[in-house]
């Protein structure tokens, strides 16, 4: 229990979009789904990765000189990383004068992470602020997360888990007791579409959601927010929203406090480039405000309480 | 969507007219431009440049100002015994004569408040002997001006006994009028021994009695003017307004005010005469807790049936008058340093006795007026917040911040501020004057400099010291890194052993030894500024009394001492530590580069700094990026920063002025020095090049704040002392800077876009009352900054833009998306 460490991508303080109040969000590395629209592509892989930031590079080639594996070369476009050759020794990252090379994924002990993320406790007190554990898929590291949550609850800190739902049921059991709010994604209601796009069927996702709601019914003070990313030509159809709305209406509405439709944004292309990947959605347009309103209306028309549905995010100008 | 520039709103016809009229500037037929007056003697001096030694932009104009005021000065006819009087009496009599019989007594159309022109530059009233003695000490080879310039040119900062930065006892005048003040002075004088009557104390009291009559005589002049205008006025309602003004002037400010209108008239005239007395428009001459001491008059008038609409009209006129301070140099285009930003500050809300919140109806009325009038520069509001500030106040504050693209006011934080005032009480033996029974009545002057009210002059902008200078001297064994070259003459000074010899490369073989060298050099630079201040402080005490201001500062009459001679009950002066984060980060970088990582020797680092980092880019990048930085809420780093803070703050308390016995206290305000002095100071070990900005007040260095506003605020709170059950000064709050510390944070406006986000921002402010500093200026990320960041990505690499749920480094997202974000910021449509 004590020696466990978690692989953490990022700690975001004064986060305002991951639950109530002011929150410190912890992004865990590694995901169980592979959604092609992912806004945090560096969170998918469960191991460390190296990225190079052009704007920070001073061109000194310190990294190239240090690399024992010839994994780094200077090209016309800057430093190129041969990910086959790189063994992630991180020597280059420890010495890069400009912090142009960054490792994605850092190990934290439960105690150190706890100490770091409660620094903003004073700001959590009003409006139900606290800690959100997100990812990637946070529940892949359920044992670590469970220990962290236990400590946070002892300090009386509001806790939220942001999950894609594609996890072992036992993971939910491990974190259930010390979590105040679940942010649970339903991306696509059609099983085939879900499989096609995310790489996995949504059966387990929906089963887990029903299981979670069953447990919530026996426990007070747990909250559930459903989140649906609205992605152009992928999840943004009226039918998809109608289908999710029906599922919610029939199964979980009484236990759901809020359903957020989160509009696609296009700011993450540079992240794909840094990982030497191509983003399928690079040229996709933002969703229009009208369409977001329409989707909200579709949800309400299926009988979802209008005070529970909202949309967030950036829409086309 | 609407344009992002906030527009005034809800203004009555009258107030809109006055506001528009003000912004016509030079196209107005009336203005409040400086008027100069002389005794007519050949040695007469009007412009006392000492007050401008803290505004480096004014240095180039000192001689021109001196001669232009002299040339333009109108001769004042004086009694034959004028020069037989004592200097304070001459000063008081000259000003009285000018204000009552020379300055035009204009009433601007539609205005409801009398008291138009107050920007005067008056004879200092010196005899030939006095003028010669004073001039030698100011303009002589080793005089005040030369010393001041040396100090500034060599990167130490600036110092000078300057005007304002005080809250007069307005409450006393509102309650009892100048009549009471005059009678008290007469009693004091009557009870003096014959020896005292003929001595300096007697002279001072007699001068103050002359000054006390000035407001009454001036009110009579304005009353006559109102009656005359009324007679010629065809519009019936304007005629009645003028007659009501005349009626008010019959009462105030000689007598106490009986209603809200009289109170504002009394307050304005009392206030404007301070600026006249000091010959300086609006330098932090502040109003204090205006929503508290005006409340009885407000309540009286409400019960008499006065409407809030009429009160807002009166306040609109008050706003107009405050802004006319800026007219001083309107004819020459204004901005020669002194017109860059005044600070007739007032506080709203805040704690009262037994930790009760004092927000009242008048607080909200003032907030309404601020919201209606903004954007406008004066008077400057400062809203006091605390842990239990009411939600309604917080809602109003947050709404106003959002609609004004940045706060139309500063925010002060009571618990931390009061802890600082109580610390001051202990350190300066002032516990009888500042204690738990009255500390809540503290208020801010200028911007955020905390003082007590009506009895406190703490020289809050008189000494501005670049703490970084001590690092430079420690690096180079007590000598400047770069020789100073005079831009005008091209002459380069030889490097001198200015600071103590504290060792070089071989001697300083551990960081502890280097730090000790820094401590020694800090002692030296503080001693240096204390000595420089003594030059102007003693000159002012001897030659430039302000008997009118002294009427309004408790302690002066009792001691028979002018406020410039240390007459205030609380008479301190402040060293504002400038370049704090640059200093801390430089020390941290030296530790990291030279001692921990051994990336270079101290000697090599000194060479890199002398070369302005040219040819040492890798080392510079390491200094900038790899060395630890203050402001990231890292306990180890912040503990070191606290050590640096305590060191200079403790050293400051050691000193007192010789001539006026004022103890020095520490604070952190940088006004605009952190920009200008960046061109003077050599490159610094934190990676900064010469010519780049220094750090501002208590803020982290530009671009180092990578963990966001909460982390930044926590660091600020920690270096002020954080919290301690054992050593808390107010509850468990500790604050080693009684003056307070200026803290600015820039937020993305997307953070405030809807109701839910406003609540989050409120949560931030409540959190700040617990963890943060004494004062906060909130800026919203603006389009210009984003455009700058687009042009110079390396300077803005840490700029995070938060676009609903998604944070990205602005510099790294590509031009098209940057353009889109800029477009959204313009349309405020996140």
Q: What is the pLDDT of residue B337?
A: 34
**The pLDDT of residue A120 is above 90:** yes
Whether residue B34 is contained in a domain is answered as yes
For chain A, percent of residues with pLDDT exceeding 70: 99
Could you identify the residue written with the tokens 């919290």? B723
Look at A7-16, A17-26, B5-14, B534-543 and tell me which has the smallest mean pLDDT: B5-14
Q: What is the pLDDT of residue B798?
A: 64
pLDDT class of B826 with cuts at 50, 70, 90: low
The whole-angstrom separation of Cα B739 and Cα B445 is 10
Strand, helix or coil at B570?
Answer: strand
For chain A, percent of residues with pLDDT exceeding 90: 86
The whole-angstrom separation of Cα B99 and Cα B101 is 6
Could you identify the residue written with the tokens 């994924």? A105
**The pLDDT of residue B201 is above 60:** yes
Q: What is the pLDDT of residue B820?
A: 74
Whether residue B598 is contained in a domain is answered as no
The whole-angstrom separation of Cα B126 and Cα B40 is 11
A237 — contact with chain B (CB < 8 Å)?
A: no
Q: Which of residues 788-807 of B touch A (CB under 8 A)?
A: 793-794, 797, 802-807
Nearest C-alpha neighbor of B242 from the set B263, B225, B261, B257? B225
**The pLDDT of residue A313 is above 60:** yes
Facing A16 at nearest CB: one of B626, B760, B794: B760
**Which residues, 6 or more positions from B310, have their beta carbon under 8 angstroms from its beta carbon?**
none
**Burial of B86 per CB tally in 10 Å (0-12, 13-18, 19+):** middle
- Helices B236-251 and B260-278, packing angle to 10 deg: 70
Residues in chain A within 8 Å Cβ distance of B768: 123
Whether residue B186 is contained in a domain is answered as yes
Strand, helix or coil at B475?
Answer: helix
Please give the residue range of the domain that contains residue B828: 783-830
CB contact under 8 A, B767 and A266: no
Facing A16 at nearest CB: one of B618, B757, B793: B757
The whole-angstrom separation of Cα B50 and Cα B70 is 16
Q: What is the pLDDT of residue B402?
A: 80
Strand, helix or coil at B499?
Answer: coil
> What number of C-beta contacts closer than 8 Å exist between A and B?
124
| Domain residue extents for chain A | 5-46+107-312, 49-104
The whole-angstrom separation of Cα A257 and Cα A184 is 12
Q: What does each C-alpha distance from B152 to B56, B63, B144, B536, B679 come to in angstroms?
A: 8, 17, 12, 15, 11
Q: For residue B691, how far is the Cα from the chain centroid?
A: 25
Q: Under CATH, to which class is A5-46+107-312 assigned?
A: alpha beta
B811 — contact with chain A (CB < 8 Å)?
A: yes
B interface test, pick of A11, A14, A157 with most B CB neighbours within 10 Å: A14
Strand, helix or coil at B757?
Answer: helix
Pull the structure tokens for residue A100. Answer: 């142009």
Q: What is the pLDDT of residue A80?
A: 95
Closest Cα of chain B to A133: distance in Å?
Answer: 14
Q: What is the pLDDT of residue B806?
A: 57
Q: What is the pLDDT of residue B333?
A: 58
**The pLDDT of residue A277 is above 70:** yes
CB contact under 8 A, A317 and B751: no
B416 — contact with chain A (CB < 8 Å)?
A: no
Look at B185-199, B391-405, B558-572 and tell me which has the smallest mean pLDDT: B391-405
Residue B546 CB neighbour total at 10 angstroms: 26
Whether residue B177 is contained in a domain is answered as yes
The whole-angstrom separation of Cα B490 and Cα B500 is 28
B830 — contact with chain A (CB < 8 Å)?
A: yes
* C-beta of residue B266 within 8 angstroms of C-beta of residue B177: yes
pLDDT tens by residue, B90-99: 999 999 999 9
Nearest C-alpha in A relative to B822: A317
Nearest C-alpha in B relative to A15: B805
Whether residue B487 is contained in a domain is answered as no
pLDDT class of B272 with cuts at 50, 70, 90: very high
Whether residue B665 is contained in a domain is answered as no
Q: For residue B424, how far is the Cα from the chain centroid?
A: 19
DSSP per-residue codes, B416-468 = HHHHHHHHHHHHTT-TTTSSTTTGGG-EEETTTEEE-SSSEE--TTSEEEETH
Nearest C-alpha in B relative to A93: B626
Pull the structure tokens for residue B562. Answer: 């002018």
Q: What is the pLDDT of residue B644?
A: 98
Nearest C-alpha neighbor of A213 from the set A247, A188, A243? A247
* C-beta of residue A317 within 8 angstroms of C-beta of residue B820: yes
Closest Cα of chain A to B795: distance in Å?
Answer: 10
Q: What is the pLDDT of residue B339?
A: 38
A302 — contact with chain B (CB < 8 Å)?
A: no
Q: Which of residues 36-95 of A touch B (CB under 8 A)?
A: 39, 53-56, 58, 60, 62
CB contact under 8 A, A120 and B824: no
Whether residue B86 is contained in a domain is answered as yes
Residues in chain B within 8 Å Cβ distance of A266: 817
**Which residues, 6 or more positions from A62, have their beta carbon under 8 angstroms from its beta carbon?**
A92, A95, A96, A97, B618
CATH architecture label of A49-104? 2-Layer Sandwich (3.30)
Q: What is the pLDDT of residue A316?
A: 78
* C-beta of residue B695 within 8 angstroms of C-beta of residue B579: yes
The whole-angstrom separation of Cα A165 and Cα A33 is 9
CB contact under 8 A, B625 and A21: no
For chain B, percent of residues with pLDDT exceeding 70: 95
Residue B515 CB neighbour total at 10 angstroms: 20
Facing B797 at nearest CB: one of A12, A39, A56: A56
Strand, helix or coil at A57?
Answer: coil
What is residue A133's DSSP assignment?
E
Mean pLDDT of A220-230: 95
Q: Give the global pTM.
A: 0.95
Residue A258 CB neighbour total at 10 angstroms: 18
Q: What is the pLDDT of residue B127?
A: 97
CB contact under 8 A, A123 and B766: yes
The whole-angstrom separation of Cα B781 and Cα B768 is 20
Q: Domain end: B327, B356, B380, which one?
A: B327
Pull the structure tokens for residue B742. Answer: 């200026």
Q: What is the pLDDT of residue B707?
A: 87
pLDDT tens by residue, A172-220: 999 999 999 999 999 999 999 999 999 999 999 999 999 999 999 998 8
Residue B543 main-chain phi, psi, to 5 deg: -120, -15
B106 — contact with chain A (CB < 8 Å)?
A: no
A270 — contact with chain B (CB < 8 Å)?
A: yes
A126 — contact with chain B (CB < 8 Å)?
A: yes
Closest Cα of chain A to B352: distance in Å?
Answer: 23
Q: Compute the mean pLDDT over every residue in chain B, rounded to the nearest whole number.
A: 93
CB contact under 8 A, A22 and B763: yes
pLDDT tens by residue, A33-64: 999 999 899 999 999 999 999 888 999 999 99
Whether residue B336 is contained in a domain is answered as no
B612 — contact with chain A (CB < 8 Å)?
A: no
Facing B625 at nearest CB: one of A98, A120, A125: A98
pLDDT class of B2 with cuts at 50, 70, 90: very low
The whole-angstrom separation of Cα A38 and Cα A45 is 12
**The pLDDT of residue B756 is above 60:** yes
Mean pLDDT of B464-482: 98
Q: What is the pLDDT of residue B335?
A: 40
Look at A187-196, A286-295, A297-306, B750-759 and tell me which has the smallest mean pLDDT: B750-759
Q: What does each C-alpha distance from A268 to A40, A51, A239, B611, B808 come to in angstroms?
A: 7, 14, 27, 40, 8
pLDDT tens by residue, B221-260: 999 999 999 999 999 999 999 999 999 999 999 999 999 9
pLDDT tens by residue, B718-734: 999 999 999 999 999 99
Domain count, chain B: 2
Mean pLDDT of B488-511: 94
Residues in chain A within 8 Å Cβ distance of B803: 265, 267, 314
């Amino acid at each position: 229990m004590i020696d466990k460490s978690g692989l953490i991508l990022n700690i975001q303080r004064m986060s305002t979009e991951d639950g109530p109040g002011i929150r410190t969000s912890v992004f865990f590395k590694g995901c169980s789904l592979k959604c092609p629209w992912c806004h945090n592509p560096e969170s998918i892989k469960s191991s460390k990765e190296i990225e190079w930031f052009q704007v920070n590079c001073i061109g000194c080639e310190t990294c190239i000189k240090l690399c024992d594996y010839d994994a780094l070369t200077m090209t016309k476009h800057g430093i190129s990383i041969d990910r086959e050759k790189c063994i992630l020794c991180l020597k280059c990252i420890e010495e890069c004068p400009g912090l142009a090379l960054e490792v994605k994924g850092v190990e934290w002990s439960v105690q150190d992470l706890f100490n770091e993320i409660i620094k903003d406790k004073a700001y959590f007190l009003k409006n139900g602020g606290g800690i959100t554990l997100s990812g990637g898929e946070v529940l892949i590291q359920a044992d670590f997360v469970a220990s962290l949550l236990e400590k946070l609850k002892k300090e009386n800190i509001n806790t939220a888990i942001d999950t894609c739902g594609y996890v072992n049921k036992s993971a939910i059991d491990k974190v259930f007791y010390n979590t105040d709010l679940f942010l649970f994604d339903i991306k696509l209601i059609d099983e085939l579409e879900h499989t096609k796009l995310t790489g996995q069927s949504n059966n387990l996702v929906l089963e887990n959601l029903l299981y979670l709601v069953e447990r919530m019914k026996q426990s007070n003070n747990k909250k559930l927010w459903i989140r649906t990313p609205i992605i152009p030509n992928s999840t943004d159809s009226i039918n998809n929203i109608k289908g999710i709305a029906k599922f919610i209406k029939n199964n979980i509405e009484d236990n759901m406090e809020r359903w957020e439709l989160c509009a696609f944004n296009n700011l993450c292309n540079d992240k794909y480039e840094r990982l030497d990947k191509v983003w399928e959605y690079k040229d996709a347009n933002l969703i229009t405000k009208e369409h977001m309103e329409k989707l909200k209306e579709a949800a309400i028309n299926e009988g979802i309480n209008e005070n529970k549905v909202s949309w967030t995010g950036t829409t086309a100008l | 969507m609407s344009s992002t520039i906030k527009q005034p709103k809800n203004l009555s016809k009258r107030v809109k007219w006055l506001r528009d009229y003000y912004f016509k500037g030079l196209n107005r037929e009336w203005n409040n431009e400086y008027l100069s007056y002389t005794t007519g003697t050949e040695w007469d001096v009007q412009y006392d440049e000492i007050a401008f030694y803290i505004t480096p932009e004014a240095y180039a104009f000192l001689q021109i100002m001196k001669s232009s005021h002299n040339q333009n000065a109108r001769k004042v006819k004086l009694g034959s015994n004028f020069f037989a009087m004592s200097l304070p009496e001459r000063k008081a009599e000259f000003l009285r004569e000018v204000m009552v019989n020379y300055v035009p007594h204009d009433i601007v159309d539609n205005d409801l408040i009398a008291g138009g022109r107050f920007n005067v530059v008056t004879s200092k009233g010196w005899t030939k002997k006095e003028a010669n003695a004073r001039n030698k000490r100011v303009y002589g080879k080793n005089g005040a001006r030369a010393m001041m310039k040396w100090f500034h040119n060599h990167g130490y900062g600036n110092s000078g006994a300057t005007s304002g930065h005080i809250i007069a006892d307005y409450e006393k005048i509102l309650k009892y009028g100048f009549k009471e003040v005059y009678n008290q002075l007469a009693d004091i004088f009557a009870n003096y021994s014959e020896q005292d009557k003929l001595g300096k104390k007697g002279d001072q009291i007699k001068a103050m009695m002359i000054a006390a009559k000035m407001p009454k005589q001036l009110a009579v002049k304005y009353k006559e003017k109102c009656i005359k205008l009324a007679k010629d006025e065809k519009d019936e309602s304007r005629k009645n307004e003028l007659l009501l003004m005349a009626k008010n002037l019959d009462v105030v400010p000689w007598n106490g005010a009986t209603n809200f209108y009289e109170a504002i008239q009394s307050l304005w005239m009392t206030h404007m005469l301070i600026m006249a007395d000091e010959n300086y428009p609006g330098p932090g001459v502040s109003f204090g807790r205006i929503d508290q001491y005006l409340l009885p008059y407000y309540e009286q008038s409400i019960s008499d049936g006065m409407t809030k609409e009429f009160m807002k009209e009166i306040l609109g006129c008050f706003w107009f008058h405050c802004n006319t301070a800026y007219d001083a140099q309107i004819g020459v285009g204004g901005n020669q340093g002194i017109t860059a930003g005044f600070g007739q500050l007032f506080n709203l809300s805040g704690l009262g006795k037994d930790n009760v919140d004092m927000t009242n109806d008048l607080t909200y009325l003032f907030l309404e007026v601020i919201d209606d009038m903004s954007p406008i520069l004066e008077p400057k509001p400062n809203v006091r917040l605390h842990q239990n500030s009411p939600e309604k106040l917080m809602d109003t504050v947050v709404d106003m911040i959002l609609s004004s693209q940045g706060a139309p006011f500063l925010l002060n934080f009571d618990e931390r501020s009061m802890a600082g005032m109580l610390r001051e009480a202990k350190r300066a033996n002032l516990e009888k004057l500042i204690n738990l029974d009255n500390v809540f009545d503290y208020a801010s002057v200028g911007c955020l400099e905390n003082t007590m009210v009506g009895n406190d002059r703490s020289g809050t902008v008189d000494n501005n010291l670049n703490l970084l200078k001590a690092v430079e001297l420690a690096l180079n064994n007590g000598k400047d890194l770069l020789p100073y070259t005079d831009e005008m003459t091209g002459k380069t000074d030889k490097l001198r052993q200015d600071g103590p010899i504290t060792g070089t490369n071989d001697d300083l073989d551990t960081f502890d030894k280097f730090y000790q060298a820094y401590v020694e050099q800090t002692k030296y630079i503080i001693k240096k500024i204390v000595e420089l201040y003594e030059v102007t402080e003693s000159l002012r005490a001897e030659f430039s009394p302000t008997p009118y201001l002294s009427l309004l500062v408790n302690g002066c009459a009792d001691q028979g001492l002018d406020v410039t001679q240390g007459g205030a009950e609380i008479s301190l002066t402040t060293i504002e530590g400038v370049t704090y984060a640059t200093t801390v980060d430089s020390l941290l970088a030296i530790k990291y580069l030279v001692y921990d990582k051994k990336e270079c020797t101290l000697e090599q680092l000194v060479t890199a700094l002398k070369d302005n980092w040219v040819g040492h880019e890798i080392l510079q990048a390491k200094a900038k990026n790899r060395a630890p930085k203050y402001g990231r809420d890292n306990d180890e780093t912040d503990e070191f920063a606290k050590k640096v803070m305590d060191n200079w703050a403790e050293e400051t308390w050691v000193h007192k002025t010789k001539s006026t016995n004022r103890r020095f206290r520490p604070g952190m305000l940088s006004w605009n020095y952190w920009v200008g002095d960046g061109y003077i100071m050599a490159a610094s070990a934190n990676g900064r090049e010469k010519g780049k900005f220094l750090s501002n007040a208590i803020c982290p260095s530009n671009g180092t704040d990578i963990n966001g506003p909460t982390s930044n605020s926590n660091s600020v709170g920690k270096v002020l002392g954080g919290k301690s059950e054992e050593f808390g000064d107010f509850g468990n709050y500790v604050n080693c800077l009684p003056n307070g510390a200026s803290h600015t944070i820039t937020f993305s406006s997307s953070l405030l876009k809807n109701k839910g986000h406003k609540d989050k921002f409120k949560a931030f402010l409540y959190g700040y009352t617990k963890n943060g500093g004494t004062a906060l200026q909130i800026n919203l990320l603006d389009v210009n900054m984003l455009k700058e960041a687009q042009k110079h990505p390396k300077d803005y690499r840490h700029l995070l833009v938060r676009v609903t749920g998604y944070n990205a480094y602005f510099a790294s997202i590509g031009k098209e998306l940057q353009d889109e974000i800029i477009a959204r910021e313009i349309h405020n449509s996140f």
